[in-house]
Structure 1
Amino acid sequence: MQAYEFINNLIPPLKLSDKSGKALSWMEEIRTDILPVVDQGNFLGLIREEMIFDQNDPETLIENIPLDNLNCWVFSDKHIYDVLRVGAEQNSNVVGVLGRDKVYMGVVTMEDSIAAFADSLSIQSQGSVLILSLYMTDYSLAEISRIIETENTKVLSSFITSDPLDDAKIKLTLKLDKPELRHIKATLERFGYKILDHYQEESGISSEEDRIGNLLRFLDI
Protein backbone atom coordinates (compact mmCIF):
# COMPACT_ATOMS: atom_id res chain seq x y z
CA MET A 1 0.00 0.00 0.00
CA GLN A 2 2.93 2.35 -0.67
CA ALA A 3 2.46 5.47 -2.78
CA TYR A 4 4.66 4.38 -5.69
CA GLU A 5 2.39 1.38 -6.32
CA PHE A 6 -0.44 3.70 -7.34
CA ILE A 7 1.36 6.15 -9.62
CA ASN A 8 -0.84 7.10 -12.56
CA ASN A 9 1.38 6.92 -15.64
CA LEU A 10 -1.31 8.54 -17.81
CA ILE A 11 -0.68 11.94 -16.22
CA PRO A 12 2.49 13.48 -17.71
CA PRO A 13 4.55 16.24 -16.10
CA LEU A 14 4.98 19.61 -17.75
CA LYS A 15 8.36 21.30 -18.19
CA LEU A 16 9.07 24.96 -17.56
CA SER A 17 9.75 25.40 -21.28
CA ASP A 18 6.31 24.08 -22.26
CA LYS A 19 3.67 26.51 -23.43
CA SER A 20 0.33 26.93 -21.67
CA GLY A 21 -1.46 25.89 -24.86
CA LYS A 22 0.24 22.51 -24.64
CA ALA A 23 -0.82 22.18 -21.01
CA LEU A 24 -4.46 22.84 -21.91
CA SER A 25 -4.28 20.33 -24.75
CA TRP A 26 -2.94 17.65 -22.39
CA MET A 27 -5.58 18.46 -19.80
CA GLU A 28 -8.33 18.09 -22.36
CA GLU A 29 -6.86 14.84 -23.68
CA ILE A 30 -6.60 13.09 -20.31
CA ARG A 31 -9.65 14.85 -18.83
CA THR A 32 -8.03 16.60 -15.90
CA ASP A 33 -7.78 20.21 -14.75
CA ILE A 34 -4.42 19.92 -13.01
CA LEU A 35 -0.92 18.79 -14.00
CA PRO A 36 2.44 18.51 -12.21
CA VAL A 37 5.39 20.67 -13.25
CA VAL A 38 8.89 19.18 -13.12
CA ASP A 39 12.33 20.60 -13.85
CA GLN A 40 15.27 18.21 -14.22
CA GLY A 41 13.62 15.67 -11.96
CA ASN A 42 12.58 18.23 -9.35
CA PHE A 43 8.90 18.58 -8.46
CA LEU A 44 8.04 22.29 -8.61
CA GLY A 45 4.32 22.20 -7.91
CA LEU A 46 1.00 21.96 -9.72
CA ILE A 47 -0.63 24.07 -12.38
CA ARG A 48 -4.41 24.33 -12.70
CA GLU A 49 -6.57 25.02 -15.70
CA GLU A 50 -7.91 28.31 -14.31
CA MET A 51 -4.35 29.56 -13.75
CA ILE A 52 -3.66 29.11 -17.46
CA PHE A 53 -6.94 30.73 -18.49
CA ASP A 54 -6.00 33.75 -16.38
CA GLN A 55 -2.98 34.29 -18.67
CA ASN A 56 -5.23 34.32 -21.74
CA ASP A 57 -2.26 33.50 -23.98
CA PRO A 58 -1.49 29.97 -25.23
CA GLU A 59 2.09 31.03 -25.96
CA THR A 60 2.87 31.83 -22.31
CA LEU A 61 5.59 29.57 -20.97
CA ILE A 62 4.90 27.53 -17.86
CA GLU A 63 7.93 29.11 -16.20
CA ASN A 64 6.11 32.46 -16.31
CA ILE A 65 3.05 31.20 -14.43
CA PRO A 66 3.21 31.07 -10.60
CA LEU A 67 2.61 27.46 -9.55
CA ASP A 68 0.40 26.11 -6.81
CA ASN A 69 0.77 23.34 -4.20
CA LEU A 70 4.56 23.33 -3.99
CA ASN A 71 4.36 20.96 -1.01
CA CYS A 72 1.76 18.62 -2.46
CA TRP A 73 3.92 15.51 -2.52
CA VAL A 74 4.85 12.41 -0.51
CA PHE A 75 7.81 10.07 -0.51
CA SER A 76 7.33 6.93 -2.60
CA ASP A 77 7.47 4.58 0.41
CA LYS A 78 4.69 6.37 2.32
CA HIS A 79 1.37 4.62 2.91
CA ILE A 80 -1.55 5.47 0.65
CA TYR A 81 -3.18 7.09 3.71
CA ASP A 82 -0.50 9.79 3.56
CA VAL A 83 -1.47 10.51 -0.05
CA LEU A 84 -5.07 11.05 1.05
CA ARG A 85 -3.95 13.24 3.95
CA VAL A 86 -1.72 15.46 1.82
CA GLY A 87 -4.31 15.73 -0.94
CA ALA A 88 -6.93 16.84 1.58
CA GLU A 89 -4.56 19.33 3.24
CA GLN A 90 -3.52 20.81 -0.11
CA ASN A 91 -7.04 20.66 -1.60
CA SER A 92 -5.67 18.84 -4.63
CA ASN A 93 -6.89 15.92 -6.73
CA VAL A 94 -3.35 14.75 -7.44
CA VAL A 95 -0.32 14.30 -5.21
CA GLY A 96 3.28 14.11 -6.39
CA VAL A 97 5.41 11.08 -5.52
CA LEU A 98 9.15 11.53 -4.94
CA GLY A 99 11.92 9.06 -4.22
CA ARG A 100 13.98 9.44 -1.07
CA ASP A 101 16.49 11.33 -3.23
CA LYS A 102 13.61 13.75 -3.95
CA VAL A 103 13.57 12.85 -7.63
CA TYR A 104 10.10 13.03 -9.17
CA MET A 105 8.51 9.67 -9.94
CA GLY A 106 4.91 10.55 -10.86
CA VAL A 107 1.57 11.43 -9.31
CA VAL A 108 -1.22 9.56 -7.57
CA THR A 109 -4.81 10.70 -8.03
CA MET A 110 -7.21 11.03 -5.14
CA GLU A 111 -9.62 8.68 -6.93
CA ASP A 112 -6.98 5.94 -7.06
CA SER A 113 -6.05 6.64 -3.43
CA ILE A 114 -9.65 6.34 -2.26
CA ALA A 115 -10.13 3.09 -4.16
CA ALA A 116 -6.92 1.65 -2.70
CA PHE A 117 -7.75 2.83 0.81
CA ALA A 118 -11.21 1.35 0.51
CA ASP A 119 -9.68 -2.01 -0.39
CA SER A 120 -7.31 -1.87 2.57
CA LEU A 121 -10.18 -1.22 4.98
CA SER A 122 -12.43 -3.98 3.65
CA ILE A 123 -14.93 -1.35 2.55
CA GLN A 124 -15.94 -3.41 -0.48
CA SER A 125 -16.87 -6.37 1.72
CA GLN A 126 -20.57 -6.72 2.46
CA GLY A 127 -21.64 -5.99 6.01
CA SER A 128 -22.42 -2.88 8.01
CA VAL A 129 -20.85 0.24 9.53
CA LEU A 130 -21.32 1.25 13.14
CA ILE A 131 -20.21 4.56 14.72
CA LEU A 132 -19.70 4.78 18.49
CA SER A 133 -18.99 7.74 20.75
CA LEU A 134 -16.79 7.17 23.79
CA TYR A 135 -14.09 8.70 25.94
CA MET A 136 -10.54 7.95 24.81
CA THR A 137 -9.80 6.58 28.28
CA ASP A 138 -12.56 3.99 27.78
CA TYR A 139 -11.35 2.88 24.36
CA SER A 140 -10.37 -0.78 24.03
CA LEU A 141 -10.82 -2.32 20.60
CA ALA A 142 -10.18 -5.76 22.07
CA GLU A 143 -13.06 -5.36 24.52
CA ILE A 144 -15.42 -3.92 21.93
CA SER A 145 -14.54 -6.69 19.48
CA ARG A 146 -15.15 -9.29 22.18
CA ILE A 147 -18.63 -7.90 22.81
CA ILE A 148 -19.45 -7.83 19.09
CA GLU A 149 -18.16 -11.37 18.61
CA THR A 150 -20.67 -12.64 21.19
CA GLU A 151 -23.25 -11.88 18.47
CA ASN A 152 -21.35 -14.05 15.95
CA THR A 153 -20.08 -10.95 14.15
CA LYS A 154 -16.48 -9.89 13.47
CA VAL A 155 -14.85 -6.46 13.21
CA LEU A 156 -13.22 -6.24 9.78
CA SER A 157 -11.60 -2.86 10.34
CA SER A 158 -11.82 0.25 12.50
CA PHE A 159 -11.17 3.97 12.27
CA ILE A 160 -10.86 6.63 14.98
CA THR A 161 -11.61 10.35 14.62
CA SER A 162 -11.70 13.06 17.24
CA ASP A 163 -15.04 14.41 18.43
CA PRO A 164 -15.27 18.09 17.39
CA LEU A 165 -17.69 18.77 20.25
CA ASP A 166 -15.60 17.21 23.02
CA ASP A 167 -11.80 16.93 22.99
CA ALA A 168 -11.93 14.09 25.53
CA LYS A 169 -14.09 11.93 23.28
CA ILE A 170 -13.51 10.00 20.06
CA LYS A 171 -15.75 8.60 17.35
CA LEU A 172 -14.99 4.94 16.64
CA THR A 173 -16.17 3.69 13.26
CA LEU A 174 -16.35 -0.07 12.82
CA LYS A 175 -16.81 -2.14 9.67
CA LEU A 176 -18.57 -5.41 10.55
CA ASP A 177 -19.02 -8.54 8.47
CA LYS A 178 -22.78 -8.87 9.08
CA PRO A 179 -25.50 -6.53 7.77
CA GLU A 180 -27.90 -7.11 10.69
CA LEU A 181 -27.18 -4.67 13.53
CA ARG A 182 -30.22 -4.86 15.81
CA HIS A 183 -28.80 -7.36 18.32
CA ILE A 184 -25.29 -5.89 18.15
CA LYS A 185 -26.57 -2.39 18.92
CA ALA A 186 -28.63 -3.70 21.84
CA THR A 187 -25.64 -5.59 23.27
CA LEU A 188 -23.27 -2.62 22.97
CA GLU A 189 -25.81 -0.30 24.59
CA ARG A 190 -26.24 -2.78 27.41
CA PHE A 191 -22.51 -2.45 28.08
CA GLY A 192 -22.81 1.35 28.17
CA TYR A 193 -21.60 2.26 24.65
CA LYS A 194 -23.30 5.16 22.88
CA ILE A 195 -24.15 4.55 19.22
CA LEU A 196 -24.09 7.66 17.05
CA ASP A 197 -25.06 6.17 13.71
CA HIS A 198 -25.11 3.01 11.64
CA TYR A 199 -25.31 1.93 8.00
CA GLN A 200 -26.57 -1.44 6.85
CA GLU A 201 -25.49 -2.61 3.41
CA GLU A 202 -27.47 -4.75 1.02
CA SER A 203 -25.95 -7.77 -0.66
CA GLY A 204 -24.70 -7.55 -4.23
CA ILE A 205 -21.63 -6.42 -6.12
CA SER A 206 -20.71 -2.83 -5.37
CA SER A 207 -19.70 -0.47 -8.14
CA GLU A 208 -16.68 1.82 -7.83
CA GLU A 209 -19.02 4.68 -6.92
CA ASP A 210 -20.63 2.55 -4.22
CA ARG A 211 -17.23 1.66 -2.77
CA ILE A 212 -16.22 5.32 -2.58
CA GLY A 213 -19.54 6.13 -0.94
CA ASN A 214 -18.97 3.35 1.56
CA LEU A 215 -15.50 4.72 2.33
CA LEU A 216 -16.84 8.21 2.97
CA ARG A 217 -19.46 6.77 5.32
CA PHE A 218 -16.76 4.71 7.00
CA LEU A 219 -14.65 7.83 7.55
CA ASP A 220 -17.82 9.60 8.72
CA ILE A 221 -17.30 12.44 6.23
Structure 2
Amino acid sequence: MQAYEFINSLIPPLKLTDRAGMALSWMEEIRTDSLPVSDQGRFLGFIGDEVIFEHNDTNQLIGSIELEAGACWVYSDKHIYDVLRVASENQSNLVAVLDRENSYLGVVTMEDAIAAFADSLSIKSQGSVLILSMNMTDYLLSEISRLIESENTKILSSFITNDPLDPDKIKLTLKLDKAELRHVKATLERFGHRVIDHYQEETGISSEEDRIGNLLRFLDI
Protein backbone atom coordinates (compact mmCIF):
# COMPACT_ATOMS: atom_id res chain seq x y z
CA MET A 1 0.00 0.00 0.00
CA GLN A 2 2.90 2.36 -0.68
CA ALA A 3 2.45 5.48 -2.78
CA TYR A 4 4.63 4.37 -5.71
CA GLU A 5 2.29 1.40 -6.31
CA PHE A 6 -0.52 3.77 -7.29
CA ILE A 7 1.28 6.18 -9.60
CA ASN A 8 -0.91 6.98 -12.59
CA SER A 9 1.28 6.64 -15.68
CA LEU A 10 -1.32 8.36 -17.89
CA ILE A 11 -0.72 11.78 -16.32
CA PRO A 12 2.44 13.40 -17.72
CA PRO A 13 4.33 16.29 -16.10
CA LEU A 14 4.56 19.63 -17.84
CA LYS A 15 7.87 21.41 -18.38
CA LEU A 16 8.52 25.08 -17.74
CA THR A 17 8.99 25.59 -21.47
CA ASP A 18 5.60 24.08 -22.38
CA ARG A 19 2.83 26.44 -23.37
CA ALA A 20 -0.49 26.99 -21.63
CA GLY A 21 -2.45 25.87 -24.68
CA MET A 22 -0.74 22.48 -24.64
CA ALA A 23 -1.50 22.14 -20.92
CA LEU A 24 -5.19 22.76 -21.57
CA SER A 25 -5.20 20.20 -24.38
CA TRP A 26 -3.63 17.58 -22.13
CA MET A 27 -6.11 18.35 -19.34
CA GLU A 28 -9.02 17.95 -21.72
CA GLU A 29 -7.65 14.69 -23.10
CA ILE A 30 -6.91 13.20 -19.67
CA ARG A 31 -10.04 14.73 -18.11
CA THR A 32 -8.34 16.48 -15.24
CA ASP A 33 -8.35 20.10 -14.09
CA SER A 34 -4.66 20.26 -13.13
CA LEU A 35 -1.30 18.83 -14.08
CA PRO A 36 2.06 18.48 -12.32
CA VAL A 37 5.03 20.59 -13.38
CA SER A 38 8.62 19.37 -13.11
CA ASP A 39 12.02 20.74 -14.07
CA GLN A 40 15.04 18.49 -14.55
CA GLY A 41 13.41 15.77 -12.50
CA ARG A 42 12.31 18.08 -9.66
CA PHE A 43 8.67 18.58 -8.73
CA LEU A 44 7.69 22.26 -8.71
CA GLY A 45 3.94 22.20 -8.14
CA PHE A 46 0.66 21.95 -10.01
CA ILE A 47 -0.99 24.20 -12.55
CA GLY A 48 -4.79 24.34 -12.82
CA ASP A 49 -7.00 25.20 -15.74
CA GLU A 50 -8.56 28.13 -13.86
CA VAL A 51 -5.20 29.89 -13.57
CA ILE A 52 -4.55 29.41 -17.28
CA PHE A 53 -7.99 30.77 -18.17
CA GLU A 54 -7.36 33.81 -15.97
CA HIS A 55 -4.18 34.61 -17.90
CA ASN A 56 -6.09 34.13 -21.18
CA ASP A 57 -2.96 33.48 -23.24
CA THR A 58 -2.51 30.00 -24.69
CA ASN A 59 1.01 30.89 -25.87
CA GLN A 60 2.22 31.79 -22.39
CA LEU A 61 4.99 29.58 -21.03
CA ILE A 62 4.20 27.47 -17.99
CA GLY A 63 7.34 28.84 -16.35
CA SER A 64 5.83 32.33 -16.26
CA ILE A 65 2.66 31.23 -14.45
CA GLU A 66 2.54 30.90 -10.67
CA LEU A 67 2.19 27.27 -9.64
CA GLU A 68 0.07 25.83 -6.82
CA ALA A 69 0.48 23.20 -4.09
CA GLY A 70 4.26 22.94 -4.22
CA ALA A 71 4.10 21.03 -0.92
CA CYS A 72 1.55 18.51 -2.21
CA TRP A 73 3.83 15.50 -2.44
CA VAL A 74 4.84 12.36 -0.57
CA TYR A 75 7.83 10.04 -0.68
CA SER A 76 7.33 6.88 -2.71
CA ASP A 77 7.55 4.59 0.33
CA LYS A 78 4.80 6.39 2.25
CA HIS A 79 1.48 4.64 2.91
CA ILE A 80 -1.62 5.46 0.88
CA TYR A 81 -3.02 7.06 4.06
CA ASP A 82 -0.32 9.73 3.76
CA VAL A 83 -1.39 10.40 0.17
CA LEU A 84 -4.96 11.05 1.33
CA ARG A 85 -3.77 13.24 4.20
CA VAL A 86 -1.56 15.41 1.97
CA ALA A 87 -4.30 15.71 -0.65
CA SER A 88 -6.76 16.87 2.02
CA GLU A 89 -4.30 19.39 3.50
CA ASN A 90 -3.66 20.89 0.06
CA GLN A 91 -7.21 20.47 -1.27
CA SER A 92 -5.81 18.77 -4.34
CA ASN A 93 -7.02 15.90 -6.52
CA LEU A 94 -3.42 14.98 -7.36
CA VAL A 95 -0.44 14.18 -5.14
CA ALA A 96 3.11 14.06 -6.49
CA VAL A 97 5.35 11.12 -5.59
CA LEU A 98 9.10 11.61 -5.06
CA ASP A 99 11.93 9.22 -4.31
CA ARG A 100 14.24 9.74 -1.35
CA GLU A 101 16.57 11.82 -3.57
CA ASN A 102 13.59 14.15 -4.21
CA SER A 103 13.34 13.13 -7.85
CA TYR A 104 9.86 13.28 -9.35
CA LEU A 105 8.32 9.87 -10.10
CA GLY A 106 4.71 10.66 -10.97
CA VAL A 107 1.35 11.43 -9.37
CA VAL A 108 -1.39 9.56 -7.56
CA THR A 109 -4.98 10.60 -8.27
CA MET A 110 -7.53 10.82 -5.48
CA GLU A 111 -9.74 8.37 -7.38
CA ASP A 112 -6.98 5.76 -7.24
CA ALA A 113 -6.08 6.60 -3.64
CA ILE A 114 -9.67 6.31 -2.42
CA ALA A 115 -10.11 3.01 -4.26
CA ALA A 116 -6.97 1.66 -2.57
CA PHE A 117 -8.13 3.02 0.80
CA ALA A 118 -11.50 1.33 0.37
CA ASP A 119 -9.84 -1.98 -0.44
CA SER A 120 -7.60 -1.72 2.62
CA LEU A 121 -10.68 -1.28 4.83
CA SER A 122 -12.50 -4.28 3.35
CA ILE A 123 -15.22 -1.99 2.00
CA LYS A 124 -15.98 -4.42 -0.85
CA SER A 125 -16.51 -7.33 1.54
CA GLN A 126 -20.09 -8.15 2.41
CA GLY A 127 -21.06 -7.50 6.00
CA SER A 128 -22.05 -4.52 8.10
CA VAL A 129 -20.74 -1.32 9.69
CA LEU A 130 -21.06 -0.49 13.36
CA ILE A 131 -20.21 2.88 14.95
CA LEU A 132 -19.50 3.27 18.66
CA SER A 133 -18.93 6.42 20.72
CA MET A 134 -16.57 6.35 23.70
CA ASN A 135 -13.92 8.20 25.64
CA MET A 136 -10.44 7.67 24.26
CA THR A 137 -9.37 6.37 27.68
CA ASP A 138 -12.00 3.62 27.39
CA TYR A 139 -10.85 2.46 23.96
CA LEU A 140 -9.60 -1.12 24.05
CA LEU A 141 -10.01 -2.89 20.73
CA SER A 142 -9.03 -6.30 22.13
CA GLU A 143 -11.97 -6.19 24.58
CA ILE A 144 -14.41 -5.00 21.91
CA SER A 145 -13.14 -7.68 19.54
CA ARG A 146 -13.62 -10.35 22.22
CA LEU A 147 -17.26 -9.34 22.70
CA ILE A 148 -17.95 -9.29 18.97
CA GLU A 149 -16.26 -12.64 18.39
CA SER A 150 -18.38 -14.15 21.18
CA GLU A 151 -21.29 -13.67 18.76
CA ASN A 152 -19.45 -15.60 16.02
CA THR A 153 -18.63 -12.38 14.17
CA LYS A 154 -15.23 -11.00 13.16
CA ILE A 155 -13.88 -7.47 12.74
CA LEU A 156 -12.56 -7.02 9.21
CA SER A 157 -11.22 -3.51 9.81
CA SER A 158 -11.54 -0.56 12.18
CA PHE A 159 -11.26 3.20 11.96
CA ILE A 160 -11.10 5.93 14.62
CA THR A 161 -12.22 9.55 14.18
CA ASN A 162 -12.57 12.40 16.65
CA ASP A 163 -16.10 13.30 17.69
CA PRO A 164 -16.70 16.87 16.41
CA LEU A 165 -19.32 17.43 19.12
CA ASP A 166 -17.15 16.31 22.03
CA PRO A 167 -13.33 16.64 21.93
CA ASP A 168 -12.99 14.09 24.73
CA LYS A 169 -14.72 11.35 22.73
CA ILE A 170 -13.91 9.28 19.67
CA LYS A 171 -16.01 7.41 17.15
CA LEU A 172 -14.93 3.82 16.52
CA THR A 173 -16.15 2.49 13.18
CA LEU A 174 -16.02 -1.27 12.68
CA LYS A 175 -16.50 -3.30 9.50
CA LEU A 176 -17.88 -6.72 10.44
CA ASP A 177 -18.16 -9.88 8.38
CA LYS A 178 -21.84 -10.51 9.20
CA ALA A 179 -24.83 -8.52 8.02
CA GLU A 180 -26.97 -9.38 11.05
CA LEU A 181 -26.10 -6.98 13.88
CA ARG A 182 -28.85 -7.53 16.42
CA HIS A 183 -26.97 -9.91 18.72
CA VAL A 184 -23.63 -8.09 18.39
CA LYS A 185 -25.27 -4.75 19.17
CA ALA A 186 -27.07 -6.20 22.20
CA THR A 187 -23.87 -7.75 23.58
CA LEU A 188 -21.87 -4.55 23.23
CA GLU A 189 -24.58 -2.50 24.90
CA ARG A 190 -24.90 -5.04 27.70
CA PHE A 191 -21.25 -4.43 28.53
CA GLY A 192 -21.64 -0.66 28.58
CA HIS A 193 -20.64 0.26 25.00
CA ARG A 194 -22.68 2.94 23.26
CA VAL A 195 -23.64 2.08 19.68
CA ILE A 196 -24.64 5.28 17.90
CA ASP A 197 -25.22 3.98 14.37
CA HIS A 198 -25.08 0.91 12.18
CA TYR A 199 -25.47 -0.05 8.53
CA GLN A 200 -26.46 -3.50 7.37
CA GLU A 201 -25.45 -4.30 3.80
CA GLU A 202 -27.67 -6.34 1.54
CA THR A 203 -26.22 -9.33 -0.24
CA GLY A 204 -25.50 -9.17 -3.95
CA ILE A 205 -22.97 -7.60 -6.26
CA SER A 206 -22.28 -3.98 -5.39
CA SER A 207 -21.98 -1.32 -8.06
CA GLU A 208 -19.24 1.30 -8.05
CA GLU A 209 -21.74 3.78 -6.62
CA ASP A 210 -22.53 1.34 -3.81
CA ARG A 211 -18.82 0.97 -3.03
CA ILE A 212 -18.42 4.73 -2.70
CA GLY A 213 -21.50 4.89 -0.51
CA ASN A 214 -20.12 2.12 1.69
CA LEU A 215 -16.82 3.99 2.05
CA LEU A 216 -18.53 7.24 3.02
CA ARG A 217 -20.66 5.42 5.57
CA PHE A 218 -17.59 3.69 6.93
CA LEU A 219 -15.84 7.03 7.37
CA ASP A 220 -19.06 8.44 8.84
CA ILE A 221 -19.09 11.35 6.37
The TM-score with structure 2 as length reference comes to 0.98
Amino acid of the residue matched to residue 177 of structure 1?
A: D
For residue 122 of structure 1, report the CA deviation from its aligned partner: 0.7
* Partner Cα distance (1:103, 1:208) in 2: 35
Mean alpha-carbon deviation: is it higher for 165-174 or for 93-102?
165-174
Q: Which residue of the partner structure matches residue 170 of structure 1?
A: 170
Shift of 1:162: 1.1
Q: Stretches of 4+ moved more than 6 A in 1? A: none
Q: Does the 8 Å contact 1:115/1:211 carry over to 2?
A: no
Secondary structure of the equivalent of 2:115? helix
Unaligned 5+ residue runs, structure 2?
none
* Alignment size in residue pairs: 221
For 1:131, the aligned partner's letter is I
Local SS of the residue matching 1:198: strand
Please state if 1:18 is matched with 2:22: no
Gaps of 5+ in 1: none
What does residue 211 of structure 1 align with? 211
Q: 1 CA distance for matches of 2:155 and 2:184?
A: 12
Shift in Å at residue 196 of structure 1?
Answer: 1.4
Deviation at 1:151, TM superposition (A): 1.2
What is the Cα deviation at residue 212 of structure 1? 2.2
Q: CA deviation at 1:186?
A: 1.3
- Per-residue CA shift, 1:111-160, capped at 9, x if unaligned? 10011111111111000001100011111111001111111110000001
Report how far residue 165 of structure 1 moved. Answer: 1.9
Q: Distance in 2 between matches of 1:206 and 1:106?
A: 31
Corresponding residue for residue 150 of structure 1: 150
Q: Matched residue of 1:166: which SS?
A: coil
Secondary structure class of the residue paired with 2:167? strand
Aligned to 1:28: 28
| 1:110 partner amino acid | M
Determine helix, strand or coil for the equivalent of 1:37: strand
Q: What is the CA-CA distance between 1:216 and the residue it aligns to?
A: 1.6
Mapping of residues 95-174 of structure 1, within 5 Å: 95-174=95-174
Cα RMSD over matched residues? 0.8
> CA offset at residue 200 of structure 1?
0.9
CA shift, 1:208, in A, is 2.6
Corresponding residue number in structure 1 for 2:79: 79
**What per-residue deviation string (whole Å, max 9, x for no partner) do you get for residues 50-72 of structure 1?**
01100111001101111110100
Q: Partners in 1 of 2:37 and 2:149 — Cα distance?
A: 51
SS of corresponding position for 2:168: strand
Q: C-alpha displacement at 1:207, in angstroms?
A: 2.5
CA distance in 1, matches of 2:117, 2:209: 14
Paired with 2:125 and 2:59, the residues of 1 have a C-alpha distance of 50
Alignment of 1:33-112 (within 5 A): 33-112=33-112
The C-alpha deviation readout for 1:31-81, integer Å capped at 9, x for no partner, is 111100001111000111101100111001101111110100000000001
How much does 1:209 deviate? Answer: 2.7
